[in-house]
Structure 1
């Protein structure tokens, strides 16, 4: 029974978080804003993105970073070209080999994001990338409102599984 209620709570929480994400993108339309969406499961990221694209009237673009991406700014400029989408989702940060360098360069170039991009930028992060942003790019990270969490932190998965097993 505990496992079932945890599952129901997780689904309700995920739905509310998805709505918060959609609202955050809508509110900042036409202006740069940084939105951090924290999700430790890549499949869950894709599910949420699919829902947003399907049900949102906004023109949402997605860039999936490659492991050899060196700078976030350049990846975005290259990915969008001359267009300014209504919202941009960046996924794949967890796959970048030189992630620390990418995050540091993002912090250094942070003002270029505000000057060049007129849309909400959603960075999909996991717990590890979120910690690195806090330590390596505090100025850039501070531009984000509160982080929208779309699943449990990694250390809470164990607790939920243990509760379900003991039920």
Structure 2
């Protein structure tokens, strides 16, 4: 019981620390392009972390949800942002894209356009499978990102209770 409580507290502490790292990365990159990879396997937990992120960051974030039929990341983002760019772009739904390999390859080919066009941090939410594909299919793009910010999902039930509270 005590060990279980200790693991739960450690999981919440890890989630909080990772969320603060993400908030800090957004703040440091304000006004310029940077690629940030946030890794979480649970969509429900991902949304809770985004909600928590608003507590740690005052950056104006615009969320873009990819549809399963999305073919290119660059044109999808460009079509969805306003003339005034937000403080950060947060892309969700990569795991739902049917032709994910093609999307990743085209994103790698267009990587220089991201830096030229978007003057704010770009957060790509990925799960483990999408992250592996990104490393394999778009190593140049992956190299642009600092270390991936990982959100441990081992005890997500307990973390969820605390994140909601």
Q: Secondary structure at the match of 1:90?
A: strand
Please report how far the alpha carbon of residue 43 of structure 1 lies from its aligned counterpart in structure 2 after TM superposition.
0.8
Residue of structure 2 equivalent to 1:56:
57
Q: Provide the alpha-carbon RMSD of the alignment.
A: 1.4
Residue of structure 2 equivalent to 1:88:
89
Residue of structure 2 equivalent to 1:132:
133
Query: Which of structure 1's runs of 4+ aligned residues deviate more than 4 A?
Result: none
**Within-5 A mapping of 1:70-89:** 70-89=71-90
Name stretches of at least 5 consecutive residues in structure 2 with no aligned partner: 156-165
| CA distance in 1 between partners of 2:78 and 2:69 (Å) | 16
Structure 1, 49-58 or 110-119: larger mean CA deviation: 49-58
Judge conservation of contact 2:31–2:120 (CA < 8 Å) in 1.
yes
* Residues paired across the two proteins, number: 154
Q: Deviations over 1:2-52 (max 9, x none)?
A: 322211111000000000000000000000000000001101110111122
| CA distance in 2 between partners of 1:52 and 1:18 (Å) | 6
The 1:54/1:19 distance shift into structure 2, 3 A limit, reads closer
Residue of structure 2 equivalent to 1:17:
18
Is 1:145 aligned with 2:146? yes
| CA distance in 2 between partners of 1:84 and 1:53 (Å) | 18
Q: Secondary structure at the match of 1:68?
A: coil
Q: Secondary structure at the match of 1:70?
A: coil
| CA distance in 2 between partners of 1:132 and 1:69 (Å) | 17
Judge conservation of contact 2:23–2:56 (CA < 8 Å) in 1.
no
Under a length normalisation based on structure 2, what TM-score does the superposition of the two structures give?
0.89
| CA distance in 2 between partners of 1:81 and 1:103 (Å) | 24
